[in-house]
A and B are shown apart, each in its own frame.
Chain A
Amino acid sequence: MIEFDNVSMRFGDLTVLEPFSLSLAERRVAVIGANGSGKSTFARLINGLLAPSTGTVRVDGLCTAKDARAVRRKVGFVFQNPDNQIVYPLVEEDVAFGLKNLKLPKAEIAARVDAVLARYGMESLRLRPAHLLSGGQKQMLAISAVLVMEPAYVVFDEPTTLLDLRNKRRVAAAIAEMPQTAVVVSHDLEFLTDFERVLVFEAGRIVCDAPPAEAVPFYRELMAAEAGGV
């Protein structure tokens, strides 16, 4: 369970998130909203990459500000641009990176890397240099490198924005079938249809919190109204 208790976020004088309280217990939560509305900031609060200006964020009771290290082991994070999160030159080395930090035995690392690469159909890429992969393959690598850590939650910040339609579908399918709880920030509305809950952000506020059947039309209308007003 992810709990926001009276959380707000400011950068200097700029208020990016107005105070809100919220708890997320659904397995699939989507976050949508205009550029600059505060989605990424919201996502970063969940795994302690950002500490809230006021209030507390808890994941399974752990405070993200005080127990950042434990929270990060529990919550994986996948970014929009895989180029910025792949740290090792070789696919299998990169997947092993986080496990090595945990100082796990070599045999266990190898077994877990094998399992994750097999699961996402990437065995044939394991000895490839990461910089030669396609965009979709890179994002699948980034996702594998997060899932190999076996987090209980995974936050995705626009995981499909840079991908073509086929790779968008591949990534969406991988997210759909993960056993983990996922919070997904996305502009790809078509992938949200089987999510349980959608949060719509607008200028630092959550303006709609509903299942997709209600939230997506609300968001479309919101965007259309603004376009009309300009």
Chain B
Amino acid sequence: MFEICLTRITWLHRIPAGVKLFALAAAGAAVFLTDDVRILGGLVAFAALLPLSAWLPARPLFRQIAPALVLIAALAAFHLVTGDPRDAFLVSARLGTVILLAAALTFTTRVSAMVDALERVLTPLKCIGVDPAKAGFTLALAIRFIPVLFTMIAEIREAQRARGLEGSVFAVVMPLLVRTLRMADDLAEAIAARGYDGN
């Protein structure tokens, strides 16, 4: 989840974070605006070649996109079963493109660089009340805490399995809710203690 590879700096690392974010957003919009099979095929092939061209480490990359691949396979299978191979292709190509590009981005870009880029882009929106620093900080926190959340879910599920409650969604959701709320409190306090006060 959101791994980054900084042991070897590739050409993808050298592209400014803002450019990469913009390219990802543009590609994300493009795949949902077109339903031309050739364009989508081209895009997904490009997205798949990108990490290869930079020799990004295959195993962590695969680990990161594997859950999404399962989802894509399930969606594609659904469309195939309902007798629509073209839709199966469209949905796989769209999601596949976005996921591969997002992986290429997160593998080669520091979160702090993404945050800085986002803050720069949002600066003109200050006049309509957007706070670029807050938006950037929110992004950083989200990326930092998604893996923490997954670890928490795994711990809770394990604890519930040990009690024989593995079937119960409630037994996972309740402790998860309690722990995330407590964590949010602690985090807010820790951020204040580190001298951040939203300006």
Residues on A lying within 8 angstroms of B by beta carbon are 44, 47, 49, 69, 72-73, 76-77, 79, 81, 83-90, 93, 96-98, 100-102, 127, 129-131, 145-146, 149
Contact = CB atoms under 8 A, between A and B. Distances in A.
B29 interface: no
Interface string B180-199: 00010011011111111100
B193 A84 contact: no
B194 A69 contact: no
Contacts of B144: 86-89, 130-131
Given A89-B4, A149-B195, A83 B148 contact: yes
A131 B193 contact: no
B5 to A, nearest CB: 9
B89 interface: no
**8 pairs of A and B residues whose beta carbons are closest in the complex:** A85-B190, A84-B186, A77-B193, A127-B6, A131-B147, A93-B112, A89-B144, A98-B194
Residue of B2, B140, B143, B144 ringed by the most chain A CB atoms within 10 A: B144
Nearest to A44: B189
Interface of B: 2-4, 6-7, 110-112, 140-141, 143-144, 147-148, 151, 183, 186-187, 189-197
Nearest to A50: B189
Contacts of B143: 89
A44 B195 CA distance: 14
A25 to B, nearest CB: 23
Nearest to A131: B147
6 contacts: A72-B195, A77-B190, A87-B191, A87-B194, A89-B2, A98-B196
B69 to A, nearest CB: 22
Contacts of B3: 129
B184 to A, nearest CB: 9
A110 B144 CA distance: 21
